[in-house]
Copies of this chain bind each other. A is one copy, B any other.
Amino acid sequence: MLIDGKAIAEQIHAETKAEVGKLAARKVQPGLALVRVGEDPASVVYVGAKGKACERLGIHSQNFILPEATSQPELLALIDTLNKSPRFHGILVQSPLPKQINEELIFQTVSPAKDVDGFHPINVGKLLMGETDGFWPCTPAGIQQLLIRSGVQIEGSHVVVVGRSNIVGKPVAAILMQKAKHADATVTVCHSRTRNLPEVTRTADILVAAMGRPKAITADMVRDGAVVIDVGVNRIPDASRPKGERLVGDVDFDAVKEKAAKITPVPGGVGPMTIAMLLHNTVQACRQQTAR
């Protein structure tokens, strides 16, 4: 009943590692450039975790850490160099970027062929059009894998996505509505302007909570037997914890788990999948760029 994101991410890591082994047999090693600007604490943690995961799987990674005051032309110049470098098949620019830098422009500058985050508009467009030769953003692709690998029937289901961000809500809707295996769902996208949200969420066979509001999905909003995917990562005060806070999702887990057929925990649900799909994409990029 609990969807174990850690265990599923490990399955994918094992598959990715096997692919890395096949590439090694022809003297190719995937390379991922990790670009971070400034010292945002969460970004330091995320980039560190991505580097470690690469190491564990035999993927070459290198950190490019620029100071907070980096100008946009300086960052563009670095991306240009990385776009041309044969040592890196994937480029990840950690968000958020400092205010003086136009994030939209940066994501458009990363070569679409190395855009393992799936944030370039050309990859987003291919995703919506159902073309299969682009990169999918990691968190939405990870959500689909969680569903597939925990035996959830997606085809014909009603998926309700709450939240319409560019990194989760809109792309996960786009993935699951396609005419394709492990998709083919009826998809509803809800958000802050949705009228009578509980009525809509109660029609979901699969509910994806991605609005970034702690415990906002309460038990009365979930149908008995629904599958619930919680994408939220919220820190709330908790005096009983050493750090004075703890991590909760967008779902009121303790209450909703009594109704849901399957549910992801936070942490240990969607979170681990994002890195797993990033490394999967990096190996795919390497295969495409070194195809003979």
Contacts and interface: CB of A to CB of B under 8 A. Distances in A.
A76 to B, nearest CB: 18
Contacts of A131: 104, 121
B177 A164 contact: yes
Interface in A126-174: 126-131, 134, 155-156, 158, 164, 166, 170-171, 173-174
User: How many copies of this chain does the complex contain?
Assistant: 2
Select the residue from A173, A188, A200 with max chain B CB neighbours within 10 A.
A188
Interface string A192-228: 1111000010000000000000000000000000000
Given A121-B122, A131-B121, A189 B166 contact: no
Nearest to A187: B189
A191 B186 contact: yes
A120 interface: yes
Contacts of A185: 193
B130 A125 contact: no
B179 A186 contact: no
A33 interface: no
Contacts of A164: 177-179
Contacts of A189: 173, 177, 186-188
Contact of A128 (B104, B174, B188, B190): B174
Contacts of A179: 164, 191-193
A19 interface: no
A46 to B, nearest CB: 21
A129 B188 CA distance: 17
B156 A193 contact: yes
A203 to B, nearest CB: 8
A190 B203 CA distance: 14
B129 A195 contact: no
A160 to B, nearest CB: 9
Nearest to A174: B128
A126 B275 CA distance: 25
Contacts of A127: 125, 128
Given A121-B122, A125-B120, A184 B177 contact: no
A266 interface: no
Interface of A: 104, 120-131, 134, 155-156, 158, 164, 166, 170-171, 173-174, 177-179, 184-195, 200
28 contacts: A104-B131, A120-B125, A121-B123, A121-B125, A121-B126, A124-B125, A124-B128, A124-B129, A125-B125, A125-B126, A125-B128, A128-B166, A128-B170, A128-B174, A129-B170, A130-B166, A156-B193, A156-B194, A170-B174, A170-B177, A179-B192, A184-B191, A185-B193, A186-B188, A186-B189, A186-B191, A186-B195, A188-B188
Given A124-B128, A173-B189, A187-B189, 4 more contacts: A121-B125, A129-B170, A177-B189, A184-B191
